[in-house]
Amino acid sequence: MKERLASLLTALCLLVLPFDAQAGRVITDSAGRQVEIPDRVERVIAAGPPASALVYVLAPEKLIGWNRKPPPEELAYLSPIVANLPEIGRLTGRGGTANVEVILAAKPDLIVDYGSVTETYASLADRVQSQTGIPYLLIDGRFANTPQALCLLGTIFGTTERAERLAKRMEDIFAETDRAVVGVSTDKKPRVYLARTARGLETGNRGSIHTEVIERAGGINVVDAGLERGGLYNVSIEQVLAWNPDTIITLDRDFRQNVKDKPAWQPVPAVAAGHVYLAPNLPFGFIDAPPSVNRLIGLTWLLHTLYPAEAPGKLRDQVRDFHKLFYQVDLSEADLDKLLAN
């Protein structure tokens, strides 16, 4: 079975990017846009943090700048070859700061965006590509499609062997998760609220890119805004009480430390039971921030957090192995202690 999966992944990574060799490398990206890319891609700008993480795990030597310069505590968990990259801002998402002059000065071969492929992002890609003359790819950032995204970029970058290794490990993590939660009945699955920011009142709608890793891990996202898919929402404590979560996953250390002392939050079942968990975030968030390939290890962490009896293996070993393969760093025991402290 493992050999069959490996051969299927090899085929995926080799065939995911068909193009006419006589016409050059003209591909159709995830938004249906026809983009001509160079034969060799050596210098890459990521349009936003999700794309930065994706490019980094596949080919850190091709990344030529950060959307946000990582602070020292994050750089300690990344390869030294990216430590001195400049901050160039971001093209997409809230707080876009990059401009055409900065992009042109960086002289990239390619701009990559990873995440939503709606008309808004396609229009931005068309505009930036028209203004700069630099090819701009949009890649579908849905969690389940992460292996395909790596295979696509692996073919573009000429790093198909590494893309295949990463895609294989991703599929293994997906399979491990599915096996662990398949026997858990719906009434036994945790009802989860994702608390972002120190107030804990920014959260992700059910089915959003910010919460899909929780849902893939078998958690029931209590936030339902009545939309098929959605993004981030600011909510009230009254809404949280009405949703009645028995588990809270938070991205904010201050919220985790102080929530038990906040009278308004004390009636929430998750707070009363002490089921408030701070997701690790070095070098990238395990759940979100950014919603990219880094969520794969978040899936493993969630299994050990939500289903400790069903989770396979030892979390420390799995985190160490993931960082070695994906981030190309060797974690010490002290590094792991800091990363998994909460």
263 has a pLDDT exceeding 50:
yes
Residue 332 CB burial class (10 angstroms; 0-12, 13-18, ≥19): exposed
pLDDT of residue 3: 46
Confidence of residue 6 (pLDDT cuts 50, 70, 90): very low
19 has a pLDDT exceeding 80:
no
Query: What tens digit of pLDDT does each residue of 216-237 get?
Result: 999 999 998 766 556 888 999 9
18 has a pLDDT exceeding 70:
no
pLDDT of residue 5: 47
Structural domains in the chain, CATH included, are 2-177 (3.40.50.1980), 183-339 (3.40.50.1980)
Average pLDDT, the chain: 91
Supply angle C-alpha 162, 164, 167, rounded to 5.
110
d(CA 129, CA 220): 40
Query: What tens digit of pLDDT does each residue of 68-118 get?
Result: 999 999 999 999 999 999 999 999 876 667 788 889 999 999 999 999 999
Candidate from 100-104, 137-141, 187-191 with smallest mean pLDDT: 100-104
24 has a pLDDT exceeding 80:
no
pLDDT of residue 250: 98
Pairwise pLDDT comparison (303 vs 232), residue with the higher score: 303
d(CA 247, CA 244): 9
- Across residues 233-257, what is the average pLDDT? 96
Candidate from 2-16, 138-152, 248-262, 322-336 with smallest mean pLDDT: 2-16
Secondary structure in 3-state letters for the chain: CHHHHHHHHHHHHHHCCCCCCCCCEEEECCCCCEEEECCCCCCEEECCHHHHHHHHHHCHHHECCECCCCCHHHHCCCCHHHCCCCECCCCCCCCCCCCHHHHHHHCCCEEEEEECCCHHHHHHHHHHHHHHCCCEEEEECCHHHHHHHHHHHHHHHCCHHHHHHHHHHHHHHHHHHHHHHCCCCHHHCCEEEEEECCCCCEEECCCCCCCHHHHHCCCEECCCCCCCCCCEEECCHHHHHHHCCCEEEECCHHHHHHHHHCCCCCCCHHHHCCCEEECCCCCCCCCCCCCCCCHHHHHHHHHHHHCCCCCCCCHHHHHHHHHHHHHCCCCCHHHHHHHCCC
How many C-beta atoms surround the C-beta of residue 69 within 10 A? 14
Query: What tens digit of pLDDT does each residue of 120-135 get?
Result: 999 999 999 999 999 9
pLDDT of residue 316: 98
% of the chain residues with pLDDT over 70? 90
- Across residues 21-36, what is the average pLDDT? 80
1 has a pLDDT exceeding 90:
no
167 has a pLDDT exceeding 80:
yes
